[in-house]
Amino acid sequence: MNEVHSSGKLDAQAIAEAVRQGMYAKDHASKGLGMQIEAVGPGYARLTMTVRRDMLNGFAICHGGFITTLADSAFAYACNSYNALTVAAGIVVDFVTSAHEGDRLVAEAREISRSGATGIYDITVTNQHGKTVAVMRGRSHTLKGKHVVDL
């Protein structure tokens, strides 16, 4: 999976997958919440998470923080997919529909723009019925000269 292909397009995909592997190996947070990294690509990531009982707030719905955490993980895998170490500078979340125990959420992160050290990403969280649960916009900041994994 990590081999580097001759075409530029395949290289970028191989790099994104190598980064995914390297990040996930140490990503206690995403693992602990049962997230799975379904797909990655250059500037792209799709993750899933099932809402557990310990994610419910005092109103018996999924705590917005956990929905955000899923979206933020998708954002992290997408914005690090070029193997340049990148952190979240800021995020904006609009909550659209409640999520409930047992719901299977999918977060899809897509790059909107990238220039200099700054990237803008859109992340959509939907439930198993395809309904939008939340939308997030993330601003990323790439650190100079640091890689996520050694290739």
Q: Interface mask (CB under 8 A) for a copy of itself, residues 83-102, using x and -?
A: --x-xxxxxxxxxxx-----
The answer to the question of residue 14 lying near a copy of itself (CB under 8 A) is no
Write phi, then psi, for 76 (nearest 5 degrees).
-65, -45
Q: How many CA atoms lie within 13 A of 100 on its CB side?
A: 3
Give dist(CA 134, CA 142) in Å, integer.
25
The answer to the question of residue 65 lying near a copy of itself (CB under 8 A) is yes
The answer to the question of residue 48 lying near a copy of itself (CB under 8 A) is no
End-to-end CA distance of the chain: 12
Q: How many CA atoms lie within 13 A of 92 on its CB side?
A: 5
Among 40, 45, 47, 76, binds a copy of itself (CB under 8 A): 76
Site residues (vs a copy of itself, CB under 8 A): 22-30, 32, 53-60, 62-66, 68-73, 76, 85, 87-97, 112-113, 115, 118, 120, 122, 132, 135, 137, 139, 141, 148
